[in-house]
């Protein structure tokens, strides 16, 4: 967190925030938590035992003896001594009553294709067969890692739950990431097996996804990790939809292999609560992604509890979270939380706005969705392309969620009045890949909603805002600071895979005053977001304080973007900065300085874009590439990204007298602001 780096929270816009909405009475009457007494049960006086209430939502093979072990801070251990299986909790335990109820409903992109309902019994069968394949064909054992690069198909939750069944750690890489980005993550996790799919539909196209698997295997091999099996699910079993050839001895079609595992049963392996369940990679301050390691018992308890009280999931709901399972939101609130509660979870292929902006509302009407969950980016897009579409469809939501970025009050109001038809409660949930589940939100039947603010800390979470010197920023002061969580909670990640020092350094060292202390109160968790706290106890998140840019809810590291840009031969220096964007919240702009003697050209700009898309993925595509004569620099030669970001955002550049080359600032300003 250098002063050189502009942060998202510094370019945040400010809006009026005194308006409240009461939860609709229709919602309150049926809510899982409607009595405010629950807040007292999770107050600090009851910490950490309060989380027993979440853990008791699970079936344990062996009950734990210690709720929270703080012997080795900040490597907290939850529910120590307990044993359970996550797949058993999400599948097997529902069979007795709900065998024939849909666990998953999958909506393919082509509207001509049938929606598929997969019952708990069918899910049980599919998970058993694939678990047997992983164990007996791939030779995978407890603790091994497997990377998935899967799109939004039911085979993704099937693969996740199969791993969980046999104690194998899954690491799903978002399907939209490039092959190279997938390869980095394969290498970092040391996976010998990659699970992918031949093709999938997106935006009217059948995308060749198998090609990325070959790139991924090659990229991993360059980093010293050999993938020996690539399992390829087929979008249409029995026929291949990808022109990319299979590599003999390495690549296998899953549907062909499964024939040998037909009707096989695999006992769920009883795992210690502290055993890792999965890795989820996220961007950070260096080019190397961070594999956030999540536990089995603590994680599952936390997502089950928060899904119950904050998503208000009842077993009879039809629940649709429109996120991608390739992100933490999908892991926690499409797969593990909802299935653990035995509800019906909808997943869909494609994008919300294809073939038109009525698609989500059509799906909602067709399936009778009662709970709807999405991100501000999707809401902004749907509002822009189809502001009146929701009125045309006869769905009825009781509950809606927004997650992933700050939501502008104006966008919130459209979500409430038009999408929710004024009848659905909204929760604005703030949290992160590292956290497992929600950190701040209103409790839907208890707290009034305030557009633009997520709300207080959720049950058992005690947030605080510190200034740089660890002074507490008081509620209602209007001052922004660094939001931290004062206490551990069961969903917090256990470590960064293979980088325990970085884990401590990045998340706990800033505000820890005594590295020897065994008291959790001395180890506040640094979230990496700027925030303010209203007099009403509601937090408002301003954006990242570090070198991360949140584009349409996807975290991109500025270092990753810059490293990709400078692989272009003509580029000498690159700087990535966040800019405000009407639809995506933030977008990325890249500034480039060329090597001596090279003249600027459209072709170089295109190469930079291409390199970023190849190394990270299309989601990282910059909004603009600016080739400038020189970068503004300090006398010690550091690029002043703060100055560049101010120019991009038409903001005041502040004091530039300390620059080595202050004259360049006006040149860049003229070049960029005139072109915009
Ligand atoms: C941002 C997504 C404002 C924040 C679950 C955080 C939000 C980052 C909100 C984590 C929200 C998430 N309001 N900002 N409700 N939710 N963020 O890891 O900057 O993909 O640090 O996890 O998204 O993104 P991640």
What is the total residue count of the chain? 676
Task: Sort strands 585-594 and 571-581 into parallel, antiparallel or unpaired.
Answer: antiparallel
User: Which atom of ligand 1 lies at the shortest distance from residue 543's CA?
Assistant: 19
Q: What is the mean pLDDT of residues 276-293?
A: 90
* Signed CA dihedral, 251, 256, 259, 264: sign only: positive
- In the predicted model, is pLDDT for residue 2 greater than 50? no
How far is 88 from 100, CA to CA, in rounded Å?
17
Q: Which residue has the higher pLDDT, 4 or 245?
A: 245
Give this complex's ipTM.
Answer: 0.99
pLDDT digits 0-9 by tens, 155-189? 999 999 999 999 999 999 999 999 999 999 999 99
- In the predicted model, is pLDDT for residue 249 greater than 50? yes
Within a 13 Å sphere around the CA of 187, how many CA atoms are in the beta-carbon half? Answer: 19
Residue of 455, 538, 550 to test ligand 1 pocket, by largest number of atoms within 8 Å of CB: 550
Interior CA angle at 443 toward 442 and 446, to 5°? 110
Q: Which residue has the higher pLDDT, 5 or 612?
A: 612
DSSP 441: -
pTM of the predicted model as reported, rounded to 2 decimal places:
0.96
Q: Which residue has the higher pLDDT, 468 or 5?
A: 468
- Give the pLDDT score at 14: 72
Q: Residue 281 pairs with which residues in a beta bridge? A: 291
Interior CA angle at 329 toward 324 and 335, to 5°? 80
Give 242 Cα–ligand 1 centroid separation in angstroms: 35
Residue of 405, 408, 546 to test ligand 1 pocket, by largest number of atoms within 8 Å of CB: 405
Token pair for 670: 């003229």
Question: At 72, is the secondary structure helix, strand, or coil?
Answer: coil
- Give the pLDDT score at 464: 98
Alpha carbon nearest to ligand 1 atom 23, residue:
404
- Give the pLDDT score at 12: 79
- Give the pLDDT score at 10: 81
Lining ligand 1 with CB less than 6 A are 282, 327-329, 403-406, 428-433, 454, 528-529, 541, 543-544, 550, 555
Question: At 652, is the secondary structure helix, strand, or coil?
Answer: coil
How far is 147 from 173, CA to CA, in rounded Å?
7
How far is 411 from 288, CA to CA, in rounded Å?
35
DSSP 611: H
* DSSP secondary structure string for all residues of 232-283: EE-SBTTB----SPPPTTTEEEHHHHHGGGTT---PPP-EETTSEEEEEEE-
User: Which atom of ligand 1 lies at the shortest distance from residue 544's CA?
Assistant: 19
Alpha carbon nearest to ligand 1 atom 13, residue:
406
Question: Using omega within 30 degrees of 0 as the cis cutoff, is the peptide bond preceding 355 cis?
Answer: yes
- In the predicted model, is pLDDT for residue 1 greater than 50? no
- Give the pLDDT score at 428: 98
Which H/E stretch holds residue 26?
Answer: helix 25-30
- In the predicted model, is pLDDT for residue 648 greater than 50? yes
* DSSP secondary structure string for all residues of 166-221: HTPEEEE--TTB-HHHHHHHHHHHT-SEEEEESEEEETTEEEE-HHHHHHHHHHHH
Q: pLDDT band for position 144 (50/70/90)?
A: very high
pLDDT digits 0-9 by tens, 410-423? 999 999 999 999 99
- Give the pLDDT score at 286: 74
Give 543 Cα–ligand 1 centroid separation in angstroms: 8
Token pair for 36: 């405010």
Q: Residue 38 pairs with which residues in a beta bridge? A: none
Alpha carbon nearest to ligand 1 atom 7, residue:
405
Q: What is the mean pLDDT of residues 276-300?
A: 92
Q: Following CA atoms 147, 148, 149, 152 in sequence, which dihedral angle do they give, to the nearest 10 degrees?
A: -160
How far is 103 from 343, CA to CA, in rounded Å?
6
pLDDT digits 0-9 by tens, 190-215? 999 999 999 999 999 999 999 999 99
Q: What is the mean pLDDT of residues 349-358?
A: 97
Interior CA angle at 265 toward 262 and 269, to 5°? 140
Give 405 Cα–ligand 1 centroid separation in angstroms: 5
Check if the beta carbon of residue 200 is closer than 8 Å to that of residue 152.
yes
Alpha carbon nearest to ligand 1 atom 24, residue:
432
């Amino acid at each position: 967190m250098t002063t050189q780096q502009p942060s998202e929270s510094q370019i945040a816009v400010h809006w009026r925030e005194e308006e409240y909405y009461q939860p609709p009475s229709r919602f309150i009457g049926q809510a899982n938590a409607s009595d405010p007494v629950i807040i007292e049960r999770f107050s600090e006086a009851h910490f950490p035992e309060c989380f027993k209430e979440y853990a008791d939502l699970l079936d344990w093979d062996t009950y734990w003896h210690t709720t929270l072990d703080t012997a080795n801070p900040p490597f907290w251990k939850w529910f120590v001594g307990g044993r359970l299986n996550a797949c058993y909790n999400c599948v097997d335990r529902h069979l007795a009553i709900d065998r024939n109820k849909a666990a998953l409903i999958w909506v393919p992109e082509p509207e001509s294709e049938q929606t598929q309902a997969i019952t708990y019994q069918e899910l049980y069968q599919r998970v058993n067969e694939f678990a047997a394949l992983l164990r007996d064909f791939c030779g995978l054992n407890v603790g091994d890692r497997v990377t998935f690069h899967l799109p939004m198909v039911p085979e993704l939750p099937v693969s996740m739950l199969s791993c969980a069944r046999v104690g194998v750690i899954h690491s799903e890489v978002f399907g939209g990431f490039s092959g190279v980005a997938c390869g980095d993550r394969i290498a970092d996790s040391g996976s010998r097996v990659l699970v992918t799919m031949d093709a999938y539909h997106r935006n009217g196209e059948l995308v060749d996804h198998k090609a990325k698997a070959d790139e991924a295997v090659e990229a991993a091999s360059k980093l010293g990790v050999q993938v020996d099996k690539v399992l390829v699910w087929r979008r249409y079993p029995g026929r291949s939809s990808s022109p990319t050839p299979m590599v003999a001895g390495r690549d296998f079609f899953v549907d062909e292999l499964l024939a040998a595992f037909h009707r096989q049963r695999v006992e769920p392996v009883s795992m210690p609560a502290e055993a890792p369940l999965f890795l989820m990679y996220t961007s950070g301050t260096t080019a190397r992604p961070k594999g956030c390691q999540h536990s089995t018992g603590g994680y599952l308890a936390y997502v089950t509890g928060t899904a119950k009280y904050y998503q208000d999931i009842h077993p009879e709901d039809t629940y649709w979270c429109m996120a991608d399972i390739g992100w933490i939101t999908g892991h926690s609130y499409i797969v593990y939380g909802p299935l653990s509660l035995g509800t019906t979870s909808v997943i869909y292929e494609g994008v919300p706005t294809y073939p038109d902006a009525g698609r989500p509302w059509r799906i909602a009407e067709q399936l009778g969705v009662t709970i709807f969950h999405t991100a501000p980016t999707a809401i902004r897009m749907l509002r822009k392309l189809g502001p009146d579409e929701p009125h045309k469809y006869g769905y009825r939501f009781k509950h809606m969620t927004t997650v992933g970025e700050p939501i502008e009050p104006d966008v919130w109001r459209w979500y409430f009045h038009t999408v929710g038809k004024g009848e659905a409660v909204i929760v604005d949930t703030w949290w992160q890949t590292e956290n497992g589940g929600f950190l701040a939100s209103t409790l839907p039947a208890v707290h009034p909603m305030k557009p633009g603010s997520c709300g207080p800390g959720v049950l058992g979470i005690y947030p605080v805002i510190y200034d740089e010197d660890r002074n507490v920023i008081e509620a209602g002061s209007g001052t922004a600071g660094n939001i931290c969580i004062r206490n551990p909670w069961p969903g917090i990640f256990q470590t960064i895979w293979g980088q325990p020092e970085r884990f401590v350094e990045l998340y706990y060292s800033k505000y820890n005053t005594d590295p020897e202390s065994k008291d959790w109160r001395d180890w506040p968790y640094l979230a990496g977001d700027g925030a303010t706290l209203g007099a009403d106890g509601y937090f408002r998140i301003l954006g990242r304080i570090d070198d991360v840019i949140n584009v349409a809810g996807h975290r991109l590291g500025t270092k990753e973007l810059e490293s990709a840009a400078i692989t272009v031969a003509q580029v000498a220096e690159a700087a990535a900065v966040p800019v405000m964007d009407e639809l995506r919240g933030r977008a990325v702009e890249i500034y480039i300085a060329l090597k001596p003697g090279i003249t600027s050209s459209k072709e170089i700009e295109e190469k930079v874009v291409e390199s970023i898309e190849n190394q990270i993925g299309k989601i990282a595509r910059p909004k603009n590439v600016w080739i400038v004569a020189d970068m503004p620099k300090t006398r010690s030669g550091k690029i002043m990204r703060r100055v560049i970001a101010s120019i991009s955002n038409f903001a005041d550049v502040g004091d530039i007298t300390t620059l080595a080359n202050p004259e360049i600032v006006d040149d860049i300003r003229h070049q960029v602001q005139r072109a915009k």
